[in-house]
Amino acid sequence: MKIVSYNLRKHAASAELVDIEHLYDVDVLCLQEADAVLLPDRVGHLRLADATKANRLGLAIYVNDERFTIGDTTAFELKKSLHDRLFSPANERLIASRLYDKEAEREILIASFHAAPLTAPNSLRRKQISTAHRELGSLAAGIPTVMVGDFNYPIFKNNLRRRIQEMGYELSLSNARTYSRYKIFRGHFDFVTSVNMGIDEVKTLPRGASDHRPILVTTSYLSVDAEPRQEMVS
């Protein structure tokens, strides 16, 4: 399965989506900083599963509806940063779609996530990430789950990885940095977290109109005989 995550930078890179879908044969497309009002119903062969409604800069998930049956989609508010309280760019920072993969005959949960901006401390973003994982577990405990998006976490990632593993998830980074608009903030901003799902490769794609580069996540289901990961803990 191929999943692309892309922060559109205030919808500026939206015109690139059809080419990305076609070039990389995408199964699921997860967006951040998208204008929900301007999103089309389809991007190539992908159908809009859902998008956040309360955000000025929203989240969205597109799905290959020939391969997947789209179930419930849920959006979540996470703990707000001072930036959120002053400017209200994003009330909902997590959206998740429960899908049924007709090829594999298995359910999967896919989520698009956008953490608070760099004006907030890492501790708040860690809180948002842990809350997001708990919310995903409440939706679909035990089924393969992949959360992708803009984590806004360029430094101290080893500490973040340890905390994510304590929640039963794995953190995966791409092969090259995903953000380079400002020299001081260059690095990996766009991540993948997963549970009960194999992450084969995470590749940074060429830069377009956004200040973020999209990432392409190649996944595979774990064997049904594989040991389940530990249960999430708070």
Task: Compute the average pLDDT of residues 51-56.
Answer: 84
Q: Is-above-0.85 flag for pTM?
A: yes
**Spatial separation of the C-alpha atoms in residues 106 and 116, rounded to whole Å:** 33
Task: Compute the average pLDDT of residues 40-52.
Answer: 97
Six-digit token string for 137: 């577990």
- In terms of average pLDDT, the best of 84-98, 142-156, 189-203 is 189-203
DSSP for 129-155 reads HHHHHHHHHHHHTTS-EEEEEE----S
- Domain assignments of the chain as residue spans, ordered by start: 2-221
**Spatial separation of the C-alpha atoms in residues 163 and 126, rounded to whole Å:** 8
Closest CA to 192 of 144, 143, 142, 120: 144
Task: Compute the average pLDDT of residues 118-136.
Answer: 92
Task: Compute the average pLDDT of residues 170-176.
Answer: 95
- Convert the pLDDT of each residue in 54-72 to its tens digit: 877 899 999 999 999 999 9
Strands (E), 2-133: 2-7, 28-34, 42-43, 46-51, 58-64, 68-77, 92-101, 106-114
**In the block, residue with structure tokens 């896919």:** 110
| 192 SS3 class | strand
Six-digit token string for 147: 């959360």
pLDDT of residue 230: 40
CATH of the domain spanning 2-221, picked from 3.20.20.70, 3.40.50.300, 3.60.10.10, 3.40.1160.10:
3.60.10.10
Task: Compute the average pLDDT of residues 132-137.
Answer: 96
